[in-house]
């Protein structure tokens, strides 16, 4: 990579989101600079996931993401090269801020799972680290 990679400290942060509900139902607002601590360049959602099929298995050199499970549940494994963390996203009230240089895997999707992701950059395959050994080397290099 020609450019610097941000610090690894505090690389996966769970956030609790405030529900703005009334008698009609619930609403959660996500705003750049309020809940989402980076400029949003892309959003995508993952749905129609198949039983016992996991996803992810990669890290990003620079990309930060903010992940919310708006329906159903799934388990997100994050690994900073030293510590592995498992977080259940099982309510729309939980969000996970996953910074750069974090290995992530998504497991145990419920049938109704819809994972909404906000990303700090456009899709770039060159930003993906898809091999775990390459990820460990990148962590050593940039930590
Ligand atoms: C991540 C986790 C949480 C695009 O063309 N544009 C996009 O914005 C994305 C996200 C993907 N794609 C293509 C690339 C692949 O051909 O869609 C296909 C599936 O992507 P991928 O295998 O990377 O999907 P996941 O679920 O393993 O990972 C995704 C994100 O790629 C990744 O950044 O952190 O969700």
Q: What is the pLDDT of residues 58-81, one digit of tens each?
A: 999 999 999 999 999 999 999 999
CA distances from 28 to 20, 39, 115, 117 (A): 6, 19, 15, 15
- Asked if the structure places residue 107 within a domain, the reply is yes
Distances (CA, A) of 105 to 2, 45, 46: 26, 16, 13
Domain-embedded: residue 67: yes
- 36 within some domain: yes
Catalytic residue among 58, 60, 107, 122: 58
Check which CATH number belongs to the domain holding 79 and give it.
2.60.120.10
Say if residues 6 and 120 touch (Cβ distance below 8 Å): no
Residue 4 lies in a domain: no
Per-residue pLDDT at 11? 67
- Establish if 3 belongs to a structural domain: no
Indicate if ligand 1 lies below 6 Å from the C-beta of 45: no
Q: Which domain holds residue 135?
A: 9-142
On whether residue 47 sits in a domain, the answer given is yes
23 alpha carbon – ligand 1 mean position (Å): 37
Asked if residue 1 is part of any domain, the answer here is no
Which token pair is 67?
């992940």
Identify the band that residue 86 occupies on the pLDDT scale cut at 50, 70 and 90: very high
Show the tokens assigned to 62: 């620079």
Locate 110 and state its tokens. Answer: 């419920």
Number of domains in the chain: 1
Task: Calculate how far, in angstroms, residue 21's C-alpha sits from the geometric centre of ligand 1.
Answer: 32
pLDDT at 142: 86
2 within some domain = no
pLDDT, one tens digit per residue, over 4-44 is 444 444 468 889 999 998 999 999 999 999 999 999 999 99
Per the structure block, which two tokens stand in for 36? Answer: 């989402």
Task: List CB contacts of 51: < 8 A, sequence separation 6 or more.
Answer: 109, 111
Residue 37, C-beta contacts closer than 8 angstroms, at least 6 positions apart = 66, 97
């Amino acid at each position: 990579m020609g450019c610097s990679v941000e610090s690894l400290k505090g690389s996966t942060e769970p956030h609790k989101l405030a529900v703005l509900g009334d008698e009609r139902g619930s609403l959660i607002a996500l705003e750049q600079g309020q809940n989402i601590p980076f400029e949003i360049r892309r959003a995508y959602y993952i749905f129609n996931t198949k039983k016992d099929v996991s996803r992810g298995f990669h890290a990003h050199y620079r990309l930060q993401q903010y992940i919310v499970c708006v329906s159903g549940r799934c388990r997100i494994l994050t690994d900073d090269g030293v510590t592995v963390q498992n977080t259940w996203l099982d309510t729309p009230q939980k969000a996970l801020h996953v910074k750069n240089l974090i290995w992530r895997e998504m497991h145990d999707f419920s049938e109704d799972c819809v994972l909404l992701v906000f990303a700090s950059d456009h899709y770039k395959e060159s930003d993906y680290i898809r091999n775990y050994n390459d990820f460990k080397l990148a962590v050593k290099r940039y930590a």
